[in-house]
């Protein structure tokens, strides 16, 4: 057994076990150094040989890079995590990671659904800044001086030596520099997943306790409860009549009629995925995995109107438009309509609240409509207000204008749905909340939705 030895006023030791060369110093006595020596030797012998360089040799930056290469192909949110990981890699002088769509010819891992191919980009002394973003990047750099300093220190520290107070200092500094609570939570979540993965998948015995657990964070106040009313939706519809992109109005109408996330019809919906007889849209993938979206009468009619007379290619996308184009058109329409503080995602809140009233709070049915996995997730989207409860308690009627967009009090709650086999797709009738989207701006001709020239 290697004996502890004195270095100046302190004691140190060296240990080689399971292919790892370890050096420890800073002990006040030889006995303290010997106890740590025996503990480390026992721990490493019991754990077995670790993967990669091990927690005593690999720095946090190196561990993050290896984690990205191994896990990012299977993570839908890899691009968001890549931006966070790259901050550490740049500070450590390591190659940064980039998630790109996989090439079909590339050999893929044998297990799991592959979403990305991960590439390493060479180290750059200075990052190229797009034209017009120099001032913004300068403000970002000045704002994050303290955070970057701590990240640099952490990125170059061996994983086994990282302690909770160092990560707490990072999060506290981020808070003082103006980062939002949600950003702090995502930073902590990334580090916590890394340490858990290192212990479970790489067989790294140190640190014994995950240093990213138990950290103090400000509460995240990002819940939205904005519900559009019929009156507001009508104003937005009228503003959308001047939209030059023919796919934006029907997409927004479909979101309101189905409670889908905007990414679901944009990224995953094909014409061949629509089961017209069963009134279902089969999403091959989504945020929570593949699912069937029930299509109510309004959704069926929007899709029929968009399809037109000709049957489109099954492999063709339903909405050949980008999210950026949809978002820009939405913001312009809301500005013209004078409707404030409303996001595209609020259509999902609105639809969930509307269906809650239509279906008398039938939560199992609502969970199928929205595609949520748990009732707690679903409840975040059911935004019944205190005014609604007060109205019920006093027997005051809900007016059509103030009802959630899409809820029409004079219409039956469960109208019959005309399927593609029984209805004419060339001239389908539309629910009243969809009519303005097709009344003036959008015209269906030969299966292609077109818009006339408008100033």
Tell me: do 369 and 446 sit in the same domain. yes
Per the annotation, the verdict on 270 as an active-site residue is: no
pTM of the model: 0.68
Tell me: do 101 and 248 sit in the same domain. no
C-alpha triplet 126, 158, 43: angle, nearest 5°: 160
Tell me: do 113 and 21 sit in the same domain. no
Please indicate, yes or no, if residue 211 is contained in any of the structural domains.
no
Would you state the structure tokens that stand for residue 426, as one six-digit string?
A: 């060339």
Please indicate, yes or no, if residue 260 is contained in any of the structural domains.
yes
377 phi/psi in degrees, rounded to 5: -65, -40
Tell me: do 164 and 238 sit in the same domain. no
Specify the length of the chain in residues: 455
What residues make up the domain containing 23?
A: 5-47
Distance between CA atoms of residues 262 and 382, nearest Å: 18
Please indicate, yes or no, if residue 215 is contained in any of the structural domains.
no
Please indicate, yes or no, if residue 344 is contained in any of the structural domains.
yes
Catalytic annotation, pick one of 37, 188, 354, 372: 372
Catalytic annotation, pick one of 88, 179, 247, 381: 381
Tell me: do 71 and 42 sit in the same domain. no
Give the H/E segment covering residue 98.
strand 96-100
- pLDDT at residue 390, rounded to an integer: 87
C-alpha triplet 62, 143, 181: angle, nearest 5°: 75
DSSP 45: H
DSSP 415: P
- Residue 389: partners with Cβ closer than 8 Å, 6 or more residues away: none
Catalytic annotation, pick one of 291, 307, 348, 354: 348
Catalytic annotation, pick one of 14, 79, 345, 408: 345
Q: Are 207 and 159 in contact (CB under 8 A)?
A: yes
Tell me: do 281 and 176 sit in the same domain. no
DSSP 229: B
Tell me: do 243 and 348 sit in the same domain. yes
Per the annotation, the verdict on 416 as an active-site residue is: no
Catalytic annotation, pick one of 192, 224, 287, 408: 287
Rounded to the nearest 10°, the torsion over CA 254, 256, 258, 263 is 70
Q: Are 199 and 160 in contact (CB under 8 A)?
A: no
Tell me: do 347 and 373 sit in the same domain. yes
Domain count across the chain = 3
Distance between CA atoms of residues 126 and 74, nearest Å: 30
- pLDDT at residue 129, rounded to an integer: 64
Tell me: do 191 and 264 sit in the same domain. no
Catalytic annotation, pick one of 90, 151, 261, 354: 261
Per the annotation, the verdict on 345 as an active-site residue is: yes
The total of other beta-carbon atoms located within 10 Å of residue 215's CB is 19
C-alpha triplet 407, 304, 285: angle, nearest 5°: 80
3-state secondary structure of 91: helix
- pLDDT at residue 283, rounded to an integer: 92
Per the annotation, the verdict on 24 as an active-site residue is: no
Please indicate, yes or no, if residue 223 is contained in any of the structural domains.
no
Please indicate, yes or no, if residue 455 is contained in any of the structural domains.
no
Instruction: Let me know how many helices (H) and strands (E) the chain has, helices first.
Output: 17, 10
3-state secondary structure of 158: strand
Tell me: do 193 and 330 sit in the same domain. no
Please indicate, yes or no, if residue 54 is contained in any of the structural domains.
no
C-alpha triplet 384, 297, 399: angle, nearest 5°: 40
- pLDDT at residue 285, rounded to an integer: 82
Tell me: do 41 and 70 sit in the same domain. no
- Per residue of the chain (455 residues), what is the pLDDT tens digit? 578 999 999 999 888 887 778 888 889 999 999 998 888 888 778 777 888 988 988 999 999 999 999 999 999 889 999 999 999 999 999 999 999 988 765 555 555 678 889 999 998 766 666 666 666 666 766 778 999 999 999 999 999 999 999 999 999 999 999 999 999 999 999 999 999 999 999 999 889 899 999 999 988 777 888 999 999 999 999 999 888 899 999 999 999 999 999 999 998 899 999 999 999 999 988 887 889 999 999 999 999 988 887 778 888 899 999 999 999 999 999 999 999 999 999 999 999 999 998 898 899 999 999 999 999 999 999 998 888 888 888 888 888 888 899 887 754 444 444 444 434 333 434 444 554 455 444 433 333 333 333 22
Q: Are 22 and 45 in contact (CB under 8 A)?
A: no
Give yes or no for a cis peptide into 207 (omega within 30° of 0): yes
Distance between CA atoms of residues 253 and 26, nearest Å: 67
CA nearest 67: which of 190, 150, 153? 190
Start-end of H helices in 177-270: 181-201, 230-240, 248-258, 263-268
Q: What is the CATH number of the domain that holds 412?
A: 1.10.443.10
Tell me: do 69 and 37 sit in the same domain. no
Q: Cα dist. 14→17, 27, 30, 33, 45 in Å? A: 10, 13, 13, 10, 16
- pLDDT at residue 25, rounded to an integer: 87
Residue 371, Ramachandran bin (φ over 0: left; ψ between -120 and 50: alpha; else beta): left
429 phi/psi in degrees, rounded to 5: -80, 155
Start-end of H helices in 338-442: 346-358, 363-370, 375-379, 386-394, 435-439
Please indicate, yes or no, if residue 207 is contained in any of the structural domains.
no
3-state secondary structure of 21: strand
């Amino acid at each position: 057994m290697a004996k502890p030895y004195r270095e100046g006023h302190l004691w140190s030791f060296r240990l080689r076990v399971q292919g790892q060369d370890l050096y420890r110093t800073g002990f006040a006595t030889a006995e303290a150094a010997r106890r740590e020596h025996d503990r480390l030797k026992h721990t490493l012998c019991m754990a077995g040989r670790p993967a990669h360089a091990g927690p005593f040799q690999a720095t946090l930056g190196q561990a993050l890079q290896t984690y990205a290469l191994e896990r990012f192909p299977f993570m839908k949110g890899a691009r968001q995590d890549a931006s966070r990981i790259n901050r550490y890699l740049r500070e450590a002088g390591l190659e940064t990671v980039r998630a790109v769509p996989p090439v079909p010819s590339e050999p893929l891992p044998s297990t799991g659904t592959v979403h990305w191919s991960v590439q390493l980009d060479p180290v750059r002394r200075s990052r190229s800044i797009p034209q017009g973003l120099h001032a913004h990047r300068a403000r970002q750099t000045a704002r994050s001086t303290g955070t970057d300093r701590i990240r640099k220190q952490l990125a170059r520290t061996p994983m086994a030596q990282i302690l909770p107070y160092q990560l707490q200092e990072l999060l506290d500094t981020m808070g003082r520099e103006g980062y939002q609570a949600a950003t702090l939570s995502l930073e902590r979540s990334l580090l916590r997943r890394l340490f858990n993965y290192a212990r479970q998948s790489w067989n790294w015995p140190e640190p014994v306790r995950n240093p990213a657990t138990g950290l103090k964070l400000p509460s995240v106040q990002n819940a939205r409860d904005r519900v559009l009313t019929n009156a507001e939706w009508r104003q937005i519809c009228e503003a959308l009549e001047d939209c030059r992109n023919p796919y934006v109005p029907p997409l927004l109408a479909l979101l309101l009629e189905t409670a889908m996330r905007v990414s679901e019809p944009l990224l995953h919906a094909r014409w061949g995925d629509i089961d017209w007889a069963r009134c279902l849209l089969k999403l091959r993938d989504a945020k929570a995995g593949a699912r069937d979206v029930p299509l109510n009468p309004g959704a069926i009619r929007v899709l029929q109107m968009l399809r037109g007379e000709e049957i489109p290619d099954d492999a063709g996308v339903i909405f050949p438009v980008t999210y950026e184009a949809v978002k820009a058109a939405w913001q312009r329409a809301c500005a013209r309509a004078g409707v404030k503080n409303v996001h595209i995602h609020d259509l999902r809140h609105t639809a969930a609240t509307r269906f809650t009233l239509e279906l008398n709070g039938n939560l199992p049915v609502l969970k199928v409509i929205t595609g949520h996995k748990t009732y707690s997730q679903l409840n975040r989207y059911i935004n019944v207000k205190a005014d609604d409860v007060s109205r019920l308690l006093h027997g005051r009627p809900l007016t059509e204008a103030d009802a959630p967009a899409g809820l029409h009090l004079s219409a039956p709650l469960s109208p019959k749905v005309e399927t593609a086999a029984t209805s004419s797709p060339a001239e389908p009738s539309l629910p009243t909340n969809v009519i303005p989207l097709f009344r003036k701006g959008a015209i269906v001709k030969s299966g292609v939705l077109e818009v006339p020239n408008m100033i």
